Amino acid sequence: MTPEKEAEYEAALQVALDAGAKVLAEGGSAMDAIKAAIIPMEDSALFNAGKGAVFTWDGTNELDSSIMDGRDRSAGAVAGVKTVKNPILLADTVRTQSEHVMLMGAGAEAFAAEKGFAVTPPEYFATPARREALERMKAEPLSALDVDHKFGTVGAVALDQNGNLAAGTSTGGMTGKRWGRVGDAPVIGAGTYADNRACAVSATGWGEYFLRVGVAHEICARLRMEREEKRGAIEWEASRAVNEANPGNITYTHVRSINLPSQSAQDAADDVMDDVASLGGDGGVILVTPEGHAIFSFNTSGMYRGRATSEGVREVAIFGGEDQASATPDH
């Protein structure tokens, strides 16, 4: 990557980060914040989502996206859409205005038309760099991993002032995908998951492996169970103390706010990413917990990322070791 390109990516990440952070600072919802962050990345030709999406084998751009609200675990997703400028908004409309979670292809586009989405001409999404990547892949026996610049999918996770979590992901998938291939990004539980009791996760990487591991849900499940276990232990102790003071009179004290340390989130993310690596996959995740721990883990050489907190942290980074949090060990 040239210094100029690096600066371009960092500036684009900053725009997305600022857009999301502004919503949260003004008291907006986590759901609105992630949409505000994802839209400029879908609109930027730099990322593999919306404009700038990778090409399928047949030379088209087919977009996948999903979104989830941690408050009620409502979720929406679209796969293989070709004429929707901002697939994250269509995914959200599936969530809020249909009784379904996932729509695909022509059906998703018919739904979009019914809900008033403009038809964006397919040429809008096509960029010379991504076309060249497809041509290179066809000319030389290269895998999508070699040509995709690992990987360029966009995603955002957020915690708002009311303690609600949200996650969203948007992608063009992998260069040269065929036969209606759908990756992890639009699959709730694989590429995206949000649960106020656990965390919000968005993933990027070799989708087949993230699907097999169920990455986003797996990380959330680990944190949910850890929190439950901790709560169980505290409640047990409390009820025992009450029982000792008043024998025969068991009263349960419910402890509702159980805080997990940042390391719990880091360990859950690292362990699940190690599991992806053990199967042969690579990529990364971003997540945020109800305590506000904003964590990432990846086993590629870099992952475009940014982080903003109400304490004033504002950082964007591309490669490993550029900020205080760590990449997965051994990679």
Binding residues for ligand ASP, rule: CB under 6 A, are 48, 151-153, 171, 173-174, 183-185, 204-205, 207
The 3-class secondary structure across 45-93, one letter per residue, is: CCCCCCCCCCCECCCCCCEEEEEEECCCCEEEEEEEECCCCCHHHHHHH
Residue 180 DSSP code: T
In whole angstroms, the minimum distance from the beta carbon of 140 to ligand ASP comes to 20
In whole angstroms, the minimum distance from the beta carbon of 28 to ligand ASP comes to 27
Cβ distance 47 to 130 under 8 Å?
no
Q: So which residues are the catalytic ones? A: 153
In whole angstroms, the minimum distance from the beta carbon of 100 to ligand ASP comes to 21
Look at residue 208 and give its three-state secondary structure: helix
**Residue 76 or 80 having the CB closest to ligand ASP:** 80
- The CA distance from 166 to 157, in Å, is 6
Chain position whose Cβ is nearest to ligand ASP: 207
**Residue 20 or 172 having the CB closest to ligand ASP:** 172
- The CA distance from 101 to 282, in Å, is 27
Bridge partners (DSSP) listed for residue 203: 285
Torsion sign across C-alpha atoms 271, 277, 281, 285: positive
In whole angstroms, the minimum distance from the beta carbon of 185 to ligand ASP comes to 5
In whole angstroms, the minimum distance from the beta carbon of 180 to ligand ASP comes to 12
Alpha-helix residue ranges (DSSP H) falling in the chain: 3-25, 30-43, 87-97, 105-114, 128-139, 144-147, 207-213, 215-245, 262-279
**Residue 126 or 234 having the CB closest to ligand ASP:** 126
Please give the backbone phi and psi of residue 227, each rounded to the nearest 5 degrees, phi first.
-65, -40
**Residue 109 or 184 having the CB closest to ligand ASP:** 184
**Residue 40 or 172 having the CB closest to ligand ASP:** 172
- The CA distance from 130 to 207, in Å, is 18
